[in-house]
Amino acid sequence: KKIIKENYLLKTVIVKKVWPNSLKISITFYEPCASLIVNNGFFNLSCDGRILKKAKETPQFLPIINYYQKLNAGSFQTGDWIDYKDIKQTLFFIDKLKQINLRPLTIDIKGQDMLVFNLNDSRIIVFSNSKDKDVQNYQLELIVKQFKIEGREFKKIDLRFNKPIIQF
């Protein structure tokens, strides 16, 4: 536990004793999930909200989160956790979108209740911050699977309401 606290890039460390005279150490590292725009640069975040790196330039190959109020980079250190509900929910949906092969380029957190995911092929998915995230994830998976079966493409999916709104 001490090793994990001192090294913020380590996710888990498992030490097993292999008889008679050796140890097996298994280490997993945090992977960057997204990049959050802050007042003077970017934070590379893990999928559970840990700041892995502070950067000045735009990171490549990571979705960029544009928060409606820019956080102060000086208030956070590398290794700290971001505990804002809307940012954590955004990271959750980024992870879930990757699992169903949808890649977000940018995410705009617009106010308290609107998470707008702009995908790499100019499609848009809108999530709600107040609605249960697991319900929204289930609805999205169902819609995407059905569209793959039918061979249809969507332009926009809005999951903020009880019944999702889909534009073609």
CA distance 91 to 146: 25
pLDDT for res 69: 87
Instruction: Please state, in angstroms and as integers, the Cα–Cα distance from residue 9 to each residue in 6, 65, 120, following that order.
Output: 9, 21, 28
pLDDT for res 107: 94
CA distance 158 to 166: 6
Instruction: Please state, in angstroms and as integers, the Cα–Cα distance from residue 152 to each residue in 62, 78, 139, following that order.
Output: 27, 43, 17
Give per-residue pLDDT as tens, 35-92.
Answer: 999 998 999 999 999 999 999 988 888 999 999 888 888 899 888 889 898 999 999 9
Q: How are beta strands 64-67 and 34-38 bridged, if at all?
A: parallel
pLDDT band at 137 (very low <50, low <70, confident <90, very high): very high
Structural domains of the chain, with CATH: 1-30 (no CATH), 31-167 (3.40.50.11690)
pLDDT for res 1: 67
Instruction: Evaluate if pTM is beyond 0.75.
Output: yes
pLDDT for res 95: 93
Question: Looking at the predicted structure, is the pLDDT value of residue 7 above 90?
Answer: no
CA distance 10 to 16: 17
